[in-house]
Amino acid sequence: MEQIKELIRTAVLFTPGEPIKPVWFDWRRRQHRIVETTYRWEEKQGNLLLLHFAVTDGEALYELVYNTQEQQWLLNFREPAG
């Protein structure tokens, strides 16, 4: 398995009083529409806050990470061999 860690373009809904909700992300020239966020958690690294989202497009499970300081999205994905 290959570990993928790439910056990605992500569409997100910001709704007052609700957590951030990723809607889709682009990866490898394909738009992945998120059908479910299965889990979310926060991670502190010093003053840096990272928001993690476990999401699925109906085919695979992905981890999206939002860096609140840099305002960047990272795809953290373990790609199956083969």
List pLDDT tens digits, range 6-62. Answer: 999 999 999 999 999 999 999 999 999 999 999 999 999 999 999 999 999 999 999
Tokens of residue 14, six digits? 């910001």
Q: Rounded distance, CA 56 to CA 54, Å? A: 7
Q: Looking at the 3D structure of the chain, how many domains does it have?
A: 1
- Beta-carbon contacts of residue 68 (< 8 Å; ≥ 6 apart): 48, 49, 50, 51
Q: Rounded distance, CA 53 to CA 39, Å? A: 6
- What is the pLDDT at residue 3? 81
For residues 75 and 64, is the Cβ–Cβ distance under 8 A? yes
Q: Determine if the pTM surpasses 0.75.
A: yes
Under the banding of pLDDT at 50, 70 and 90, the label for residue 81 is low
